[in-house]
Chain A
């Protein structure tokens, strides 16, 4: 486990979930949480439950859909999948993210005057 906790913005988590679903296809909540954790290589520490707040928000916005199915351990599980509008949203958000990240990067690379 990492020593520092990153506070992540709501919108950032939304973007991560959307991208994960886009890349991996249908997943249940645990799958999404696990995948994000693996990718972040334990630098990102959130309560895994937070994922469900993000998921219900995305469903209500119509960016993902869900279907009930059975998990690997034979439990009732809900599988999430990105929708068409979700894909559009992801593209827009990703572009936006890159732009801001680029800008912040440039700002941080500025030489100090003294």
Chain B
């Protein structure tokens, strides 16, 4: 082993074997002193003189011990370990305070870590596709903003796809699929499924490879071939994960369809394109003159060629939009490009940040609260601190000790908070009614873990800061006096505690006003006149038989 490395490890090891080292050194010093005295006597000194000279020659034993400790280990780590041991002792002694502090900091950290994991899933982590940065959401920026105003007809889609130089490919899905519009019958209870018609290149463009089987071919997407690709969830729930599912026929709305592929678990169409719903299968969307006549139907996604920026693509789109709209006689047609990433989570960004801000305010209140408590504790610990100052603890050392205490406290709380965050994210991820993109992807990962650690350390430093710099200011002289049981607060301490309380009330007011405004707008939404009374009503769907083939018959 190289000397440097060996030296390092020996020093680390020495930190944990302090007692052995001290005992050995003591023995050596004793022997040394003994031999020295003997030699001195041999030189003709009397025993008392010999001992005195020997002690002088050896030097201060206490200093030697300290220097030995610093030489063999790492002084900083050594004192840190000391602080750690001391902290645990203090916290155990003050069990009531410790429990309370861990609980409130734990709750605060738990809440902020949960909110952060939302931010993580939506804004930090990339979309679960191949090179998600080059995916672009292409919408029609016509005069309307409803779904039909955002989509384009088949003709313009094929033209754009053929003429673009900025995109390596453009795919689309039929945006007007009906939720629960497909009835699956045969083998067991019939079920309502949702299927999305897509162009053949949809999965290839996203970089999603089927778990089993294949994706659609060009031919299948020209006429409506009776083929479907099913989601992993459907495969598990309805077909008991049958590995021989490919080629099996199922009956959808009375028509026989062949399963040609199963999608991987990781692909969740709904979580990205239609939050709050679930999509069970995909069918080919025929790009024909017939479907073109249906008007605005397609939602487009493009993949940029390498090296092409969104702005360059948009410039091309602006050029292409004119001729295409004239050719297909669609005067309102325009092309608006947004990165898919931005489209999915962009509109949530401000909401998430507001939520995060609220959580931060809660954390600040927690810190101020604890600061106050620590200050109050410091008053009862004056004697202990005074003793430490009296035996030679410097101001820096005391501050470090106090900060260690609060950081340890908040780190223990972070463990509790992490547990809460794991539970919270689990709850969020499984909340079916929550209309949030990427909801299922919300979980505690490395980022959240890092955030929690950072939050814990910052919280600890924050709520420990004021008490720490205040602690050494205690007058040693007064505190050590026997009759000075509680010296009471100085005016300075009163001022600090007053300031803390004021800031706490301030933060609470900000939160209260914010929450009040939110609730008020929510009440407004509830007050909207819907034109009917929604109390005690349910919606239900009836699927009449084929013989009711006109709207008139169905409605009666």
Top-7 shortest CB links A-B: A47-B59, A60-B10, A49-B64, A49-B59, A75-B31, A30-B32, A30-B35
CB-based contact A73/B35 at 8 Å: yes
CB-based contact A53/B67 at 8 Å: yes
Q: Is A111 an interface residue (CB 8 A)?
A: no
Nearest neighbor of B9 in chain A, beta-carbon distance = A60
Q: In whole Å, how far is B22's beta carbon from the nearest beta carbon of chain A?
A: 12
By a CB distance below 8 angstroms, the chain A residues around B11 are 60
By a CB distance below 8 angstroms, the chain A residues around B10 are 59-62
Nearest neighbor of B30 in chain A, beta-carbon distance = A75
A60-B27 in contact given A30-B32, A48-B36, A73-B35 (Cβ < 8 Å): no
| Number of chain B residues close to chain A: CB under 8 A | 32
Nearest neighbor of B8 in chain A, beta-carbon distance = A60
> In the complex, which residues 72-92 of chain A have their Cβ closer than 8 Å to any Cβ of chain B?
72-73, 75-78, 85, 89
CB-based contact A50/B6 at 8 Å: no
Interface of B is mostly: helix
Q: Is A56 an interface residue (CB 8 A)?
A: yes
Interface string of B121-150 (1 = CB under 8 A from A): 000000000000000000000000000000
CB-based contact A78/B72 at 8 Å: no
Interface string of A26-37 (1 = CB under 8 A from B): 001110011000
Nearest neighbor of A75 in chain B, beta-carbon distance = B31
Cβ contact of A78, chosen from B28, B38, B60, B61, cutoff 8 A: B28
Q: Is A71 an interface residue (CB 8 A)?
A: yes
Cβ contact of B29, chosen from A49, A62, A85, cutoff 8 A: A49
Q: Is B25 an interface residue (CB 8 A)?
A: yes
Q: Is A57 an interface residue (CB 8 A)?
A: yes
Q: In whole Å, how far is B425's beta carbon from the nearest beta carbon of chain A?
A: 47
Nearest neighbor of A46 in chain B, beta-carbon distance = B59
User: Can you give 8 contacting A-B residue pairs, CB < 8 Å?
Assistant: A30-B31, A56-B71, A57-B71, A57-B72, A62-B3, A71-B31, A73-B34, A75-B30
Q: Is A97 an interface residue (CB 8 A)?
A: no
Cβ contact of B58, chosen from A48, A59, A62, A78, cutoff 8 A: A48
Nearest neighbor of B61 in chain A, beta-carbon distance = A49
Q: A59–B67 Cα gap in the complex (Å)?
A: 16
CB-based contact A61/B7 at 8 Å: yes
By a CB distance below 8 angstroms, the chain B residues around A59 are 10
4 further A-B pairs in the complex, CB-CB below 8 A; given A28-B31, A29-B31, A48-B32? A28-B32, A30-B32, A50-B59, A53-B64
Cβ contact of B35, chosen from A52, A61, A71, cutoff 8 A: A71
By a CB distance below 8 angstroms, the chain B residues around A56 are 21, 68, 71-72
Greatest chain B CB density within 10 A among A30, A49, A73, A85 is at A49
Q: Is B57 an interface residue (CB 8 A)?
A: yes
By a CB distance below 8 angstroms, the chain A residues around B38 are 73
Q: In whole Å, how far is A68's beta carbon from the nearest beta carbon of chain B?
A: 8
Nearest neighbor of B57 in chain A, beta-carbon distance = A48
Nearest neighbor of A53 in chain B, beta-carbon distance = B71
A30-B59 in contact given A53-B68, A75-B31 (Cβ < 8 Å): no
Interface string of B471-502 (1 = CB under 8 A from A): 00000000000000000000000000000000
CB-based contact A52/B64 at 8 Å: yes
Nearest neighbor of B25 in chain A, beta-carbon distance = A52
Q: In whole Å, how far is A29's beta carbon from the nearest beta carbon of chain B?
A: 5
Q: Is B14 an interface residue (CB 8 A)?
A: yes
By a CB distance below 8 angstroms, the chain B residues around A50 are 59, 64
Q: A61–B72 Cα gap in the complex (Å)?
A: 10
B residues at A contact (CB < 8 Å): 1, 3, 6-7, 10-11, 14, 21, 24-25, 27-32, 34-36, 38-39, 57-61, 63-64, 67-68, 71-72
CB-based contact B7/A52 at 8 Å: no
> In the complex, which residues 16-69 of chain A have their Cβ closer than 8 Å to any Cβ of chain B?
28-30, 33-34, 47-50, 52-53, 56-57, 59-63
Q: A59–B3 Cα gap in the complex (Å)?
A: 11
Q: A11–B7 Cα gap in the complex (Å)?
A: 15
CB-based contact A47/B14 at 8 Å: no
CB-based contact B72/A60 at 8 Å: yes
Q: A28–B36 Cα gap in the complex (Å)?
A: 13
By a CB distance below 8 angstroms, the chain A residues around B14 are 60
Q: In whole Å, how far is A1's beta carbon from the nearest beta carbon of chain B?
A: 10
Q: A71–B375 Cα gap in the complex (Å)?
A: 56
By a CB distance below 8 angstroms, the chain B residues around A76 are 27, 31
Q: In whole Å, how far is B78's beta carbon from the nearest beta carbon of chain A?
A: 14
Q: In whole Å, how far is B73's beta carbon from the nearest beta carbon of chain A?
A: 10
CB-based contact B28/A52 at 8 Å: yes
By a CB distance below 8 angstroms, the chain A residues around B61 are 49
Q: A56–B59 Cα gap in the complex (Å)?
A: 17
Q: In whole Å, how far is A35's beta carbon from the nearest beta carbon of chain B?
A: 13
Q: In whole Å, how far is A5's beta carbon from the nearest beta carbon of chain B?
A: 13
By a CB distance below 8 angstroms, the chain A residues around B34 are 71, 73, 75
Q: In whole Å, how far is A22's beta carbon from the nearest beta carbon of chain B?
A: 17
CB-based contact B28/A60 at 8 Å: no
Q: In whole Å, how far is A108's beta carbon from the nearest beta carbon of chain B?
A: 32
